[in-house]
Amino acid sequence: MGFASIFLKNLVDFHGAFCYTDAMRIPFFDKRYYGLDKGSSGIKIAEITEARGRLAVTRLMKLSLPVEDLPLRPDLTPPAIVERLRVFCRGQGITGRSVAVNLSGAFVASRLFNLPVMSHAELQAYIQDHAQEYLPAGVSKDAVEFDFQILKEEVQTGAEMAQINLAAGRKEAVADVLAMTLGAGLYPSCVDASSLSLVNMFSLHPAFVPGRVSAIMDIGHSVTKTLVVRDGQVAFAYELAAGGDTVNRKLQEAFDLDYGAAEELKLLFSADHEADQAGTVAVAGREFPRESVRQAVREACASMADEIGRMQQLWKGGRPWQHVVITGGGAKTPG
């Protein structure tokens, strides 16, 4: 399925901008394609190139945002950050490109349900009339952009049934990410839920086979997303308010550092964590024993592991996770 065939909407007026993409399997329009991810510590852009029928990541670009520049509301990007992104994109030579953009799980709700098989037009009309029934309590249909995807059709107890995935994103969050993208000189071709993008991408991995229960753990700066995938579909999702920031704050506390120095210490230690344990790591004119840094990092990771363990107990799928993929910037932190 291509961008044009997956419920693309008119993005000019920001209506109906929420849609799905199968980002690693789509026949793109040209030879270079871009995906933009707005995270809690920076904005990342991936360039994917198609050559000889194969797709490859050829560039990873990141605009890091210092702590003092981070927006108080993640769903509202300040003009100063939009301007920085515009300058960054111009420097990378990608101004004017079309990009697929993500929307984080904090602003997205999704729901799986079954309906009798019907025509696409009939299904569109049904979803428009009944979307409220499938949204979380307290979420109004008028406050979100929503779209749907037919996952599969099969015969159940003698009737043809379709499995539908309905996703909704808060209108203000969708409008913000679109305004940010356009303000940066890029053209949003699709808005996708970040969690669903992860599933689409990793579904190509040989570990994700029918009948196996797999988990994707995306460790970001301030949020860790866990998605349990069974038979190619998200069976369970959970967000933990912890990530790389948890390690930074532990290092701040352990060594009396400001936030920037703690981040630098984490990165230097992670880049060479197998070095001589008796050595030191130099940051901000100070030397820190490598073993002491290792201990602080392990304590932070242990607290996150405890939370993940408690979260795993919420999984009621009947079978344990058989395969776990760890991704995100926090996956590089040893411990």
Report the CATH number that the domain containing residue 239 is assigned in CATH. 3.30.420.40
How far apart (Å, rounded) are the C-alpha atoms in residues 162 and 114? 6
pLDDT at 7 exceeding the cut of 70 = no
Confidence of residue 271 (pLDDT cuts 50, 70, 90): confident
| Within a domain: 241 | yes
Predicted local confidence at residue 62, as pLDDT:
92
Q: What is the mean pLDDT of residues 155-183?
A: 87
How far apart (Å, rounded) are the C-alpha atoms in residues 255 and 248? 11
Predicted local confidence at residue 273, as pLDDT:
63
Q: What is the mean pLDDT of residues 230-249?
A: 82
One domain, residues 84 and 185: yes
| Within a domain: 14 | yes
pLDDT at 23 exceeding the cut of 50 = no
249 or 211, greater pLDDT: 249
134 or 189, greater pLDDT: 189
Predicted local confidence at residue 211, as pLDDT:
76
Predicted local confidence at residue 114, as pLDDT:
87
One domain, residues 188 and 214: no
Among 3-12, 15-24, 28-37, 202-211, the least confident range: 3-12
How far apart (Å, rounded) are the C-alpha atoms in residues 317 and 21? 27
Predicted local confidence at residue 182, as pLDDT:
95
| Domain span at 22 | 1-192
One domain, residues 31 and 86: yes
For residue 277, give both structure tokens.
Answer: 């344990």
pLDDT at 52 exceeding the cut of 70 = yes
Q: Environment class of residue 203 by beta-carbon count within 10 Å: exposed (0-12), middle (13-18) or buried (19+)?
A: middle
Most confident of 3-12, 20-29, 173-182: 173-182
Predicted local confidence at residue 66, as pLDDT:
72
| Within a domain: 183 | yes
One domain, residues 240 and 109: no
One domain, residues 162 and 93: yes
Among 179-183, 186-190, 202-206, the least confident range: 202-206
Predicted local confidence at residue 67, as pLDDT:
64
Confidence of residue 74 (pLDDT cuts 50, 70, 90): low
Of 133, 157, 192, at which residue does a domain stop?
192
Predicted local confidence at residue 82, as pLDDT:
92
Predicted local confidence at residue 234, as pLDDT:
76
| Within a domain: 335 | no
DSSP designation for 136? P
Q: What is the mean pLDDT of residues 64-80?
A: 69
Q: What is the pLDDT of residues 273-317, one digit of tens each?
A: 665 567 888 998 899 999 999 999 999 999 888 888 887 777 766
Answer yes or no: are the C-beta atoms of 45 and 36 closer than 8 Å.
yes
Confidence of residue 73 (pLDDT cuts 50, 70, 90): low
Percent of the chain with pLDDT over 70: 84
One domain, residues 158 and 33: yes
Predicted local confidence at residue 188, as pLDDT:
92
Among 20-24, 126-130, 179-183, the least confident range: 20-24
Average pLDDT, the chain: 80
How far apart (Å, rounded) are the C-alpha atoms in residues 25 and 23? 6
Alpha-helix residue ranges (DSSP H) falling in the chain: 79-92, 120-134, 171-183, 194-202, 244-255, 259-271, 290-312
One domain, residues 248 and 153: no
Among 5-14, 105-114, 203-212, the least confident range: 5-14
Beta-ladder partners of 289: 280
pLDDT at 209 exceeding the cut of 70 = yes
One domain, residues 23 and 171: yes
| Within a domain: 44 | yes
Q: Which of 199, 198, 130 is nearest to 168 (CA)?
A: 130
One domain, residues 282 and 306: yes
**What type of residue sits at position 107?**
F
pLDDT at 203 exceeding the cut of 60 = yes
CA 109 vs CA 7, 77, 145, 183: distances in Å: 18, 21, 11, 26
